[in-house]
Amino acid sequence: MKNLSAHLPVSRRWLKATGGLFASGVLALAALHAANSPSKPSVSLQFDNKPVNRETLEPASFSKVAKQVSPSVVTVTVEAKARQQRVSRSDEFFGGNDEFFRRFFGLPGQGRIPMQREPAQRGLGSGVIVSSDGYIVTNNHVVEGADRVLVTLQGNRNVKATVIGRDPQTDIAVIKIEGKNYPAIKFADSNNVEVGDRVLAVGNPFGIGETVTTGIVSATGRRAGIGLAYENFIQTDAAINPGNSGGALVDIDGRLIGINTAILTRTGGFQGVGLAVPSVMVRHVVDSLVQNGKVIRSYIGAGVQDLTPDLADSFGLENNLGAVITDVQPNTPAAKAGLKSGDVVLRLDETPVANASGLSFAVSLLKPGTKIKLEILRGGKKQTLTATTAQRPDRYGVNNGGLRGSDDEGENFSSSDVGVLNGVAVTDIDPASRRQLNIPKRIQGALITEVDPDSASARAGLKAGDVILEINQQPVTSAEDAVRLSEEATEKKTLVRLWSNGGTIFAVVDETEEDTSSE
């Protein structure tokens, strides 16, 4: 094992791991939405994409909007048969100890349920009628594991529903009831929603009956880290409680801008942070589920990461708008287009790229086989590449394992005090560690085996099990390379590329503020 910090003073300098994502973020780009719309939609949805009138004074009453929307919002009742082992179910609306209740509504866990026969379960959620022939949108976590689904329409009429398809990656599901002339809601374009817009949430909290609450849009493009692959929520302070899941978030014109999905809370009750899946995403998921039984998404096969201010500075950018390519998978559209790690994508066709999730989500909405133009920054110069999207495989190879630093004897390296990555212990990747950490064969570099817990690196998130791939855009294929490049680096800010948690990220080592004096 090589040690990059053997002779470093007590105050050490270390690398920062920024926690980027592997091409799975979600921020809608309005200019690309039209490219996603199929010529023959499988569900006849009603659209009104005009922005809401923001010059109108707020009315004294929202009763007109409530009367308009309420017939389109339904109660969804689910039943699950008795089972021998614990399953995901939707009894969260009654405060049980189901893991989805804790996940989406923040109740404290009750501990793991032992393997035993469970009684039949019932749960309540909400749904929104989106077509006159009976298609209804709700949340995946409402109907997942259900053996029977009932829909209660306005007037307390119960109708049996069939689950058409579920998309756990966005927490959207489509169910259907037989019949015609149902009061379908009209969709607005959620890309036109702005912070401060007045909104109403309609649903069935706690099973007490249809309820309307009001608030404003608190944020858009919100990522909440609740475990979904695609998070691009509209955040609102309109009260959302257990049972509102799958209900409607509408603008003051009564048009659907989102499906209420989750709240962030420390108490289990509403604390002012509600999250809704935006209508742009809902439209795409609904159409794909009805047409294909699953969601067909495009991809180009490149890992992307947000530009932090430090990364933007390292790439010579004046701001942190854009997405940096962290990894290019072999034989993918990105590889064929000539994309390379370290490229910064600034525009997708004619639309500026705000961040990594915006780029990823915009690509995912396109039809496979769509040609796109990517304006990139490479080596300080702009250029344009053309790629053709492909259908994204149904797999997510995320590795959460970690390798602790070992006490085995190995070759030690004594760095000079002017080097970088001091204190990081590295070794070559051997077959055993490759198997243990599920490191792909194509990944070559220096395996980090130990990180001082009191160091700046540990505070920044660098951990054992990460693989150093590049230092200052110079390839690292072995521990010896990492040692040599760390010695050669003279700047206090160092750009490092890592393989971490199954994906590839960039990080900036900033040693300018570290105290290098010894005790």
> How confident is the model over 72-80, as a mean pLDDT?
93
141 is a catalytic site residue: yes
Task: Determine the average pLDDT of the residues in 53-78.
Answer: 90
| N-term to C-term CA, the chain | 27
| Residue 43: partners with Cβ closer than 8 Å, 6 or more residues away | 130, 131, 135, 286, 287, 290
Between 216 and 421, residue with greater pLDDT? 216
With bands split at pLDDT 50, 70 and 90, how would you rate the model's confidence at 420? low
Lowest-pLDDT range of 83-87, 89-93, 362-366: 89-93
User: Span 51-60, mean pLDDT?
Assistant: 80
What is this structure's pTM? 0.66
Q: Is 56 exposed, middle or buried (0-12, 13-18, 19+ CB in 10 A)?
A: exposed
**What is the band of 462 on the pLDDT scale with cuts at 50, 70, 90?**
low
The Cα–Cα gap between 322 and 374 comes to 11
Model confidence band, residue 480 (pLDDT cutoffs 50, 70, 90): confident
pLDDT at 289: 95
Mean pLDDT value across residues 373-400: 79
Residue type, 405: G
Which among 18-32, 209-223, 414-428 has the top mean pLDDT?
209-223
Average of per-residue pLDDT across 30-55: 66
How is the chain split among helix, strand and coil, in percent rounded to 5? 20, 30, 50
Q: Which helix (H) or strand (E) holds 3?
A: strand 2-3
Q: Which residue type does 151 have?
A: V
Of the candidates 24, 131, 245, 415, the residue annotated as catalytic is 245
Q: Are 174 and 286 a contacting pair, CB within 8 Å?
A: yes
Write the single-letter amino acid at 493. Answer: K
Residue 412 pLDDT greater than 50, yes or no:
no
Write the DSSP string, 55-112: TSPPPS--HHHHHHHGGGEEEEEEEE--BSS----SGGGGT---HHHHHHH-PPP--P
Average pLDDT over residues 111-116: 40
The residue ranking higher by pLDDT, 23 or 443, is: 443
Per-residue pLDDT tens digits for 286-328: 999 999 988 998 989 888 888 888 888 888 888 888 999 988 8
Per the CB < 8 A criterion, the answer to whether 271 and 265 are in contact is yes
State yes or no: pLDDT of 401 exceeds 60: no
Give pLDDT, residue 449: 82
Give the active site residue among 171, 189, 327, 452.
171
Please give the pLDDT value at position 23.
31
State the pLDDT at residue 11. 31
Closest CA to 436 of 403, 462, 410: 403
- pLDDT at position 62 is 93
pLDDT for the residue 290: 94
Rounded Cα distance between 110 and 135, Å, is 36
pLDDT in tens, 234-270: 999 999 988 889 999 999 999 999 999 988 888 777 8
397: amino acid identity, one letter: G
The reported pLDDT for the residue numbered 171 is 93
pLDDT > 80? residue 20: no
7 tagged catalytic: no
The band of 411, judged by pLDDT with boundaries at 50, 70 and 90, is: very low
Confidence of residue 422 (pLDDT cuts 50, 70, 90): low
For position 381, what pLDDT does the model report? Answer: 92
Distance CA(181)–CA(174), nearest Å, equals 18
**How many DSSP H helices and E strands does the chain contain?**
11, 29
